[in-house]
Amino acid sequence: MTVMKMKLYYAETMNPRKACAVAKYLNAPVEFVRVELLKGEHKRPEYLAKNPNGRVPTLEVSDDLSIWEADAIMAYLARFAGSDLLPEGDRQVEVMRWLSWGAQHFTRHTGQHYFEYVIKPWAGGAFGPANPAAAEEASKQWRPNAAVLDEHLSSRSYLVGDRLTIADFSVAVTLPYAKKAKIPLDEFPNIARWHDRLNELPAWREPFPAPVPDALAA
């Protein structure tokens, strides 16, 4: 395996946000490489060779190893740094549980809000106009899951063992966009308090290495 400086391919969208935030939080030795989605750079052969899904983010570790999917990238960077963001033992199992829960039950629905009110306007009509009915239906599906998280956080500072982990970065990824995406965060005060705590981290507030286009700004 030929070793090189790691490269983190990103765009200023939701999933790269958490990978970039962890890289910045850990001061990871990565070179940030911006991918122009609207120009189709993520669909070019040279990029597809790194990530056959044609999506961002991608972490190029070496000539022989590229890691795609933001949660996996966060885990790799935490392990590389020897950071407790990826704990061991039972706490690691808890982290995995929240990563799965977030993808299947929480971000799945807040992501619909993000798509309708952030991505569609940014894409300039490529996906049509925002669909408020779709967002409202997503809210109905989200609220019972948000209630589970709100209760869990009622006596905790973070998701796992009251210490920051990659699970926090992952599950909270849509919350910076709550106002713009019309996510009803104010209905769940413990989630809001948790996200306020994350916002104390410079890497969470400003995860990207360059200014964010206004249409994609939180």
Q: What is the full DSSP assignment across 154-189?
A: GG-SSSBTTB--HHHHHHTTTGGGHHHHT--GGG-H
Over the stretch 33-86, which tens digit does the pLDDT of each residue have? Answer: 999 999 999 999 999 999 999 999 999 999 889 999 999 999 999 999 999 999
Domains of the chain: 3-83+207-216 (3.40.30.10), 89-204 (1.20.1050.10)
Contact 183, 174 (CB under 8 A): yes
- Whether residue 3 is predicted with pLDDT greater than 70 in this model: the reply is no
What pTM was estimated for this model as a whole?
Answer: 0.94
Rounded Cα distance, 201 and 21, in Å: 9
**Range 151-155 average pLDDT:** 96
Contact 191, 185 (CB under 8 A): yes
Q: What DSSP designation does 214 have?
A: G
Contacts of 11 (CB under 8 A, 6+ apart): 34, 35, 36, 37, 42, 56
Over the stretch 174-208, which tens digit does the pLDDT of each residue have? Answer: 999 999 999 999 999 999 999 999 999 999 999 99
